[in-house]
Structures are given as structure tokens and as C-alpha cells.
């Protein structure tokens, strides 16, 4: 009995570490991150029916690509894969901190309080603009082992999750920017076109 308990404990430990990949830049990341103007960024993502090793390998490749691009969040549609999968890591300096993997995330509640904060995106490199979002959220999702989870998030984590979840619906942060003059200037300065923004109210 003790042996089987030890095996279970070890398996639990390993499952917690399945997403730990080196937080370093690679010469060639495994996945290409698409940029504003690419049609793939505007398509809705499908729910993942069964979480498999293939799902976990995709999450690892997304993390490797995200770390290479020095980002803190990445959604599968950004790499041309229309599945409801996000990876987030707000602690890039600490190799031991595991990233967050969110599969089929759904926000169940959002705070009445909102705040304005500057956002950027790996799909619109160099562009940083203010976006208004709820300060705190509650959500449900499946983790990388397919287990149902719930969590509360506020501050930067809440914002990052909302930003990445927008990608699952084909929405980019620039679509939420209300400062039209600032938006046009930032896009022009970084070689992007205003016509590729689809403003949401």
C-alpha cells in the first residue's frame, strides 16, 4: 500500500511540473506568433474536448515561443491554432514558478470596479495603449491534466487572463482602445494599419 501511495504522490508532483520549460529565449521558437492583419487572429477558438499529451505538448511549445518573445501571456489562436488554450506566466525571472495553463476558460463573475492600464500584445509588437477592464474576475477552466479548476484573480493576473481570453473570440486589445488619436499614432509608428482594428463597444 505504501508503495502505491508513494507512486501516486510522485505522479502528482510530476503532473505539477509538466509545464516547467526553461524560461529562456530560443534561437528558433517552435511556433510562429501571428501579427495584426493576419486572418487567423480573427477566428473564434473551439473548446477542447479531451485534454491529452498532445494538448500539453502544444502548451509547452506555446510557452517556449512566449518566453522567446519575452511575453507574459499567449493564446493558441495567436499561433494559428483555434483551440481554447492559454498560457500565462507573470514571474519570468523565477525558473521554479510554474506557468498557468487555462483550457476552456470561462469567466463566471467580474467586478463592478474597473481600471485603466497600459497593455501590449505579442501579436502587435511595440504598441502599448490604455485599456479599461474589470479589476477582478472569477473563472472556471481545466488545467493541463484536464482537471476542472476555479480561481479568482485581480490586478495584473485578471487583466492578463481577460486579454488572452479575448483572443479566443478573435478580439485584440487594440479593438478596446478608446483613444483614437493615440491608437492611430501607435499603429502607424510600428507599421500596422488602422483598418485591421475592429473596434468593440
DSSP labels for the chain?
-HHHHHHHHHHHHHHHHTT----S--SS-SSPPP-TT-GGGGSPPBPPSS--HHHHHHHHHHHHHHHHTT-SEEEGGGGT--BSEEEE-S-TT-TTSPPEEEEEEEEEEE-S-EEEEEE--TTSTT--EEEEEESEEEEEEE-TTS-EEEEEEEHHHHHHHHHHHHHHTT--GGGG---HHHHHHHHHHTT--GGG-----
Is 163 annotated to bind ligand? yes
Q: Which of 119, 144, 164, 186 is catalytic?
A: 164
Active site residue 13: no
Is 121 annotated to bind ligand? yes
Q: The pTM is what? A: 0.90
Is 167 annotated to bind ligand? yes
Looking at the structure, give the CATH architecture of the domain made up of residues 5-196.
Alpha-Beta Complex (3.90)
Domain ranges of the chain: 5-196
pLDDT by 10s per residue, the chain, length 201: 455 666 655 555 555 567 889 999 999 999 999 999 999 999 999 999 999 999 999 999 999 999 999 999 999 999 999 999 999 999 999 988 999 999 999 999 999 999 999 999 999 999 999 999 999 999 999 999 999 999 999 999 999 999 999 999 999 999 999 999 999 999 999 999 999 999 996
Amino acid at each position: 500500500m505504501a508503495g502505491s501511495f508513494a507512486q501516486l504522490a510522485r505522479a502528482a508532483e510530476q503532473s505539477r511540473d509538466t509545464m516547467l520549460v526553461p524560461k529562456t529565449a530560443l534561437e528558433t521558437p517552435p511556433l510562429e506568433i501571428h501579427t495584426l492583419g493576419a486572418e487567423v487572429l480573427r477566428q473564434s477558438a473551439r473548446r477542447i474536448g479531451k485534454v491529452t499529451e498532445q494538448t500539453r505538448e502544444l502548451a509547452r511549445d506555446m510557452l517556449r515561443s512566449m518566453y522567446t518573445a519575452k511575453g507574459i501571456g499567449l493564446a493558441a489562436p495567436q499561433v494559428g491554432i483555434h483551440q481554447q488554450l492559454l498560457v500565462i506566466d507573470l514571474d519570468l525571472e523565477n525558473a521554479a514558478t510554474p506557468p498557468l495553463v487555462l483550457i476552456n476558460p470561462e469567466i463566471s463573475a467580474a467586478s463592478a470596479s474597473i481600471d485603466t492600464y497600459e497593455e501590449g500584445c505579442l501579436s502587435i509588437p511595440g504598441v502599448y495603449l490604455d485599456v479599461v477592464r474589470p479589476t477582478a474576475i472569477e473563472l472556471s477552466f481545466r488545467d493541463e491534466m484536464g482537471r476542472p479548476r476555479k480561481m479568482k484573480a485581480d490586478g495584473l493576473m485578471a487583466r492578463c487572463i481577460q486579454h488572452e481570453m479575448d483572443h479566443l473570440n478573435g478580439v485584440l486589445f487594440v479593438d478596446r482602445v478608446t483613444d483614437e488619436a493615440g491608437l492611430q499614432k501607435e499603429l502607424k509608428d510600428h507599421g500596422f494599419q488602422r483598418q485591421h482594428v475592429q473596434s468593440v463597444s
